[in-house]
Structure 1
């Protein structure tokens, strides 16, 4: 007979402990995943993690599952969800998800988002049973050729907050959580503008330089500026890549600018509360 599994607020653990728990719970996952304490703190702070709403489930005092909840206004996101192998296949996933959904409704959230890797069939099936609906496919890219380390006067560095504010004024813009302007300006990195109308955010990480998002003023679209911007960035930063957070319809501009699509893709999913 198994002992009781107890729910706890993640606020009882620090970033280094949470990083260890998350890595531990992802053991045997479809895509290997580990994270250190400093990266955990930087990443999830930018994503607006709520420690009081995030959960650690323990059994006999040992962490067995973790859910990271991010919140903005009346919208929440399941930023990470992992269960130890010994608890999998016993209905705990559904139990824990129902708790998270009930708590989101109780605090007045209107919607909950998440991403799931394509190929994680058990995870996808769970989320669909809970009422989540696929919204779009997210992809990632790697620069094909090595950087030439060239710098021209065409790219002007700006404060990332300037780019974020510009994007926030576009009423028609709806981006995934990881690529949203509210996330971008909090990350360590650089923002650039081309011709005062085309913007890019390049984040720095232990793995290298990562393009987080592009934005072109609506009136300047269709002039090849996004392609030129991506090409200039590829020539300036060695080993440039993106997170798996780029909406699939944007893929052609990356593919035509010297980037190769990563085989890992994700579904972005939404539950209306």
Structure 2
């Protein structure tokens, strides 16, 4: 097996390889170049630092590496079905861990679906330590029409605290672009994923400090349900357990079945 820079492939080729590498996974990864491009830009993925795994020249896996400051993140690692169970995962990631140390990164982060036992064991074997459990929610709030103002994702990012997981961090939310869209209702702001999708994914939601605890966030969720009738709302498993449980459960959501574990390697 050899590793080559992901930047050597086209966006179309990377999108297809990414989808193939996650066939049969816990969540469906579509082969959609525009969505792949949005992921790359929104999560600060460096294609120059990401790697394609090749066997006899044929791409068989992909490791996406995100970088922000002196912190790296494994934004996705997968292997096409025919080459799984050959112990390629460790061989793919170990060189990237060494590259991160060599360039002076202080930490490497990743998230893994908790129910994905083989992957959890792999990361633990490589020295990653569990940081916290991440949870998600799904529900259909009672629709309550209201006049929503479309704003920029950065308006939500400004209200988020530091110390959140990578996908929920202010820097990530601020960088989200179409098809993500942001809406404000009074002091509350939410960022949605692709609103044309069957389910509305709430990428982030925040309320101005002086208005917190007064129902503004839940009113915004009800207004979004009214604006997009017939669609359920979902929050991916990127929220630290215990941080927003009362808020979402009180808004009529249920915990999602899949959870994630956030892992960290370092500081070095």
TM score, norm. by length of structure 1: 0.86
The answer on whether the counterparts of 1:230 and 1:254 sit within 8 Å (CA) in structure 2 is no
1:182 and 2:171 aligned: yes
Shift in Å, 1:119: 1.3
Residue by residue, what CA displacement relative to the aligned partner does 1:85-130 show, whole Å, maximum 9, x if unpaired? 3433333222222111001111111111111112111100010111
Match of 1:37 in 2: 33
Match of 2:257 in 1: 263
**Gaps in structure 2 of 5+ consecutive residues:** none
Residue by residue, what CA displacement relative to the aligned partner does 1:70-95 show, whole Å, maximum 9, x if unpaired? 11111111011012334333332222
The answer on whether the counterparts of 1:143 and 1:234 sit within 8 Å (CA) in structure 2 is no
Equivalent residue of 2:237, what SS?
coil
RMSD: 2.2
Equivalent residue of 1:112, what SS?
strand
The answer on whether the counterparts of 1:139 and 1:245 sit within 8 Å (CA) in structure 2 is yes
TM score, norm. by length of structure 2: 0.87
1:212 and 2:203 aligned: yes
TM-aligned CA distance change 1:253 to 1:115, over 3 Å: same
Match of 1:13 in 2: 9
The answer on whether the counterparts of 1:187 and 1:203 sit within 8 Å (CA) in structure 2 is no
Match of 1:200 in 2: 190
TM-aligned CA distance change 1:144 to 1:193, over 3 Å: closer
Aligned length: 261
Q: Out of 19, 30, 35, which is 1:23 matched to?
A: 19
TM-aligned CA distance change 1:214 to 1:30, over 3 Å: closer
**Gaps in structure 1 of 5+ consecutive residues:** none
Q: Out of 19, 34, 43, which is 1:47 matched to?
A: 43
